[in-house]
Amino acid sequence: MKSTPNGNHKMIWKTVLQVFLDVLIINLSFVLAIYLRFDSVPAWLLDRYATIAPIMTALCVCAFAVSHMYRGQLRYASIGDVLRVFMGTFMGMSLTFLFSVIADMCVGQTTYRIGSRTLYLIAWMILFVLTAMQRFSVRLFNQLGVFYRSRPKNECRRVMIVGGGWGGAAAIREMVARGYREGLPVVIVDDDPAKAGARIERVPIVYGVADIPLYAEEYHIDDIVIAIPSATPAQLRTILDACSPTQCRMRMMSSMQDVTNGNPKMGALRDVNIADLLCRDEVKLDLSAIGGYLSGRVVLVTGGGGSIGSELCRQIAPFGPGRLIIFDIYENNAYELAMELRDKYNGSFPIDVLIGSVRDKARLDSVFAAFRPEAVFHAAAHKHVPLMEDSPAEAVKNNIFGTLNVVKCADQYGAKRMVLLSTDKAVNPTNVMGATKRATEMIVQYMARHSQTRYMAVRFGNVLGSNGSVIPLFRQQIARGGPVRVTDPGITRYFMTIPEAAQLVLQAGAIGESGNIFVLDMGTPVKILDLARNLIRLAGYRPDEDIKIEFCRLRPGEKLYEELTMSEEQATIDKTSHEKIMVLHPFEMNEEELLKRLETLRQAAEKYADLEHIRGPLMELVPTYHPSGT
């Protein structure tokens, strides 16, 4: 984030004030050194000091600046600032002594030098002490103000810190600096027996993460802060499992990955989110392979303002495309995304926001003809399962024939590759949305046989936090005090985070051959009931007590569990060079029959809007489509 003009002015005036104080301290230190060194101070000595004072002041201030003494935030002064003061004051007084010696040698008389080296040594010691005291006094007064404004400790939420390393110490300092408004640390839990019995900032360390529920009861804990930013997914899973029975509100320290994803500063406290509970390993990317087809290239993202499309744009931007085109029917999100990227990358590459629908072939023709994109990511789609059951013709027009328009334009205007974003709902679909996405996979595989463009599809499951996902819905229900409504106690879904999905899509685009369908490693399926219970606990409530959970029937087109591959695809599935990506190779299809059935479905969608008339042609096009209830 760029500094505001007011912020810049404040910083300038603070620096000017600091320099003024340093000028006073520099001269006061030398005068005190003179009176300490000499029993009586003759007038000629003060006259000689007046000669050297301006030069000494300038040399010391320059030395302070070189030592970065004007860059730190004094309210957070630390040992590092002491070292900078040491170096700055020593350098400034040494330069003053050297100047006086050299200047006197040049003029052939004692004009600048005052006394022996002992005087300068005494002056440096006084200067170091006074300068350090002045800087740390700012932190001292700030801390006194914090204590003055602090909540009474008996009114604070009692906090357990998990982690007795530098993370735990930083978390405690953060709470103290905020006057215990973030909570009062009362105990630290660590799995290192050597730390048991020690203290950090007077907070005792106890042994055993497995005993967190016992310590939570013993110390009357309200909140738990996990202060191990470097914890592996397995370690985090163990800690979260141990914390789960306590019913305490859980928070974490921001890690470096959080900071790079745009979250608060390193070391700040944040709530544990549902993505933390998945405990997914960080995605490792082949950056050279991805950069090879993105850097300096014109890249088009359809549906670029949506959840996945916008994250794709954010992940593409660091590779330095020649131009990034955000194509979307809804202008607000696309515009905000473009402003975000232009600000972040300072206009290092052109970013265009183009409004239009993939259903409009003429509009797509104009975009492809004007910009000739080399890489196309097709994320535009209607994806809400229940809504598409009510509006099946719109799903067919947008998802199937919108995709057909995009793949034809990619071929006609010479795109190097096109990546379709598909879904696990395309596997043995029971709903219109899944059936339309399976049809788009068939279209991609058909076009791969008739074009120089490399066409591929990436199939993945539910994405945490995406528009229309279950997470925001559950959070709204919890915020209202419940109940949280789960369709069925046995329903499961695959989940992954938005950044993880986008990164793997980019990686698949780098390694894919034309006609490939990629399946992403989604981990193990998650029970929606467990998801709801965890969200309630993360909000600081007790499931079934503070917040009730109600069960309702499956929605139209919904099934209890999702699959990642069909039975006939099992024989074609292979590993790829990336551990989290598998590939399904193209299988035979009757192309003439495919085109005929597409045309029949097009006519039905243009003539009818209801599911009764759309279902038959869609089932003929997608033989694996078996609508629920039929």
Instruction: Give how far Cα 361 sits from Cα of 309, 364, 402, 452, 455, Å.
Output: 20, 5, 8, 20, 19
At 15, list the tokens.
């620096």
Residues 6+ apart with CB under 8 A from 257: 282
Instruction: Decide if 376 contacts 410 (C-beta within 8 A).
Output: yes
Residues in the chain: 630
Q: Which tokens hold the place of 464?
A: 């945490």
Q: Among residues 383, 397, 425, 580, which one is catalytic?
A: 425
Token readout for 489 is 């106690």
For residue 575, list its beta bridge partners: 582
- Smallest CA-to-CA distance from 430 within 560, 324, 532 is with 560
DSSP alpha helix (H) spans, 108-219: 117-149, 166-177, 212-218
**Would you call 425 a catalytic residue per the annotation?**
yes
Structural contact between residues 438 and 398, judged by C-beta atoms closer than 8 angstroms: no
Whether the Cβ atoms of residue 454 and residue 418 lie closer than 8 Å to each other: yes
* CA distances to 30, 81, 256 from 103, in Å: 19, 32, 52
In angstroms, rounded to a whole number, what is the distance separating the alpha carbons of residues 566 and 624?
A: 9
Q: Which two tokens stand for residue 460?
A: 């993945």
336, 520 Cβ separation under 8 angstroms: no
38/499 Cα distance (integer angstroms): 70
Q: How many CB atoms lie within 10 A of CB 586?
A: 16
Tokens of 435: 């059936």
**In DSSP terms, which residues pair with 352 in a beta bridge?**
325
Just list the catalytic residues.
425
